[in-house]
Amino acid sequence: MENTSRSTRECSGKEGCDHVELAKRIINGNIRAASRLIRDLEDDVLQAKETLKHIYPHTGRAQVIGITGSPGAGKSTITDELVSAFREKENKVAVLAVDPSSPFSGGAILGDRIRMQRHASDPDVFIRSLATRGALGGLSNAVGSAIHILDAMGKDRILVETVGVGQQEVDVINHAHTVIVVLVPGMGDDIQAIKAGIMEVADIFVINKAHRDGTRRLQKELLSLLDLKGECPGEWKPPVILVDDVLNKDTFNENIATLCRTIEDHHQHLVRTRLLEKKLEKKAVVEILGVLRSSILGPIVKELQATGEFDDMVSRVMKRQNDPYTLVEEVKGNFLRNGKG
């Protein structure tokens, strides 16, 4: 794990903070440079976008794998094992642990990092936690940029680990080409999978801790739900893979090998059916919308704040003197060309 001092992060025009130079170092796989850019993006440093422009042509190569599921389902364990498996194939690997569930702490919890420690000394494994929230930029946008950076670094596989419940998490997981949903038996309702709205995003289901009571029931429920969904010829049917890290190490290794093969199968399926292209198109749409939001709305809000207009709007709304719609219509004209937009 990189350990660059926070004090180096200001960009003051000195050597080393030049965008082209920073981009070059990232493209050469420099961990410090990549960390710095990810941090700058989290901190909304303006110049960071300039660097992103330079690395952009070098992106689009990596395979992005999403790992999601309820808290406590064992996502980190699965991620950890996949890292090892990919490293055995000499793939360059990056892990992006997204923890938006802790917006207040400003960072992922320690546990995840500790669990990953055995890969920490491997220079070809880059692990990064992301827990940013720009009021306007959005988490999904930040994750998208981070993926670009890891991709430009030359990583072959990028694993994005995120909690599986909630709209924003679904947005995040949409960056992945292949989504693995990790479930565990006996977590309250077994209706959890449906509730979490993950039936639709899952390409592969993993039932973790599969020695536990309720495994067969959960598996049966999943399969019958998948059957219910129907299936067209040639369509991908998400397989359900049982994994257990408690009872037998050999079986566990086999489970993980099966998972790796299934990930590869799914990737081949995406390529063959041109679904990968469709996914990449959707990703581009989301990214452009995100950039429009931050580039257009961001500066408008900043100006309203600087002139005190924003505070005035807030106080009027609080006193119910005006509604926010009327107020926004009033200021809109100051920013937009003759009625446009």
Closer to a copy of itself by CB, 20 or 257: give it: 20
Binders in 77-106 for a copy of itself, by CB under 8 A: 99-105
Asked if 266 and 260 touch (Cβ cutoff 8 Å), the reply is no
- Please identify which residue in 114, 191, 247, 257 interacts with a copy of itself, judged by CB under 8 A: 191
- Please identify which residue in 65, 170, 181, 259 interacts with a copy of itself, judged by CB under 8 A: 170
Q: Rule CB under 8 A: is residue 72 a binding residue for a copy of itself?
A: yes
Of 30-38, 193-201, 231-239, 244-252, which segment contacts a copy of itself by CB under 8 A?
A: 193-201
- Please identify which residue in 195, 216, 237, 261 interacts with a copy of itself, judged by CB under 8 A: 195
Q: Rule CB under 8 A: is residue 71 a binding residue for a copy of itself?
A: yes
What is the spatial distance between Cα 164 and Cα 197, in angstroms, rounded to a whole number? 9
- Please identify which residue in 229, 264, 284, 307 interacts with a copy of itself, judged by CB under 8 A: 284
Closer to a copy of itself by CB, 6 or 325: give it: 325
Closer to a copy of itself by CB, 4 or 315: give it: 315
Judged on CB neighbours under 10 Å (0-12, 13-18, 19+), 298 is middle
What is the spatial distance between Cα 163 and Cα 181, in angstroms, rounded to a whole number? 10
What is the spatial distance between Cα 194 and Cα 229, in angstroms, rounded to a whole number? 12
What is the spatial distance between Cα 84 and Cα 69, in angstroms, rounded to a whole number? 20
Q: CB within 8 A of 150, min separation 6: which ones?
A: 34, 62, 94, 96, 126, 128, 158
Cα–Cα distance list, 66 to 4, 72, 159, 176, 237 (Å): 27, 17, 6, 5, 17
Q: How far is the CB of 89 from a copy of itself (least distance, A)?
A: 26
Q: Rule CB under 8 A: is residue 59 a binding residue for a copy of itself?
A: yes
Q: How far is the CB of 122 from a copy of itself (least distance, A)?
A: 26
Number of residues that bind a copy of itself (CB under 8 A): 83
Amino acid type, 255: N
Asked if 119 and 85 touch (Cβ cutoff 8 Å), the reply is no
Asked if 20 and 52 touch (Cβ cutoff 8 Å), the reply is no
Q: What is the side-by-side strand order in the sheet with 93-98? A: 125-130, 93-98, 157-163, 63-69, 178-183, 204-207, 240-242
Q: Rule CB under 8 A: is residue 267 a binding residue for a copy of itself?
A: no
Closer to a copy of itself by CB, 257 or 285: give it: 285
Q: Rule CB under 8 A: is residue 335 a binding residue for a copy of itself?
A: yes
Q: Rule CB under 8 A: is residue 107 a binding residue for a copy of itself?
A: no
Question: CA triplet 40, 46, 48: central angle to 5 degrees?
Answer: 45
Binders in 290-309 for a copy of itself, by CB under 8 A: 290-293, 295-297, 299-301, 303
Q: Rule CB under 8 A: is residue 46 a binding residue for a copy of itself?
A: no
Q: CB within 8 A of 124, min separation 6: which ones?
A: 87, 92, 93
- Please identify which residue in 167, 213, 234, 306 interacts with a copy of itself, judged by CB under 8 A: 167
Q: How far is the CB of 276 from a copy of itself (least distance, A)?
A: 11
Q: Rule CB under 8 A: is residue 163 a binding residue for a copy of itself?
A: yes
- Please identify which residue in 26, 62, 73, 179 interacts with a copy of itself, judged by CB under 8 A: 73
- Please identify which residue in 8, 117, 268, 326 interacts with a copy of itself, judged by CB under 8 A: 326
DSSP 31: H
Asked if 290 and 144 touch (Cβ cutoff 8 Å), the reply is yes
Closer to a copy of itself by CB, 88 or 110: give it: 110
Q: Rule CB under 8 A: is residue 16 a binding residue for a copy of itself?
A: no
Q: Rule CB under 8 A: is residue 7 a binding residue for a copy of itself?
A: no
DSSP three-state, residue 207: strand
DSSP secondary structure, 145-165, as one string: HHHHHHHHTT-SEEEEEEE--
Q: Rule CB under 8 A: is residue 228 a binding residue for a copy of itself?
A: no
Q: Rule CB under 8 A: is residue 206 a binding residue for a copy of itself?
A: no
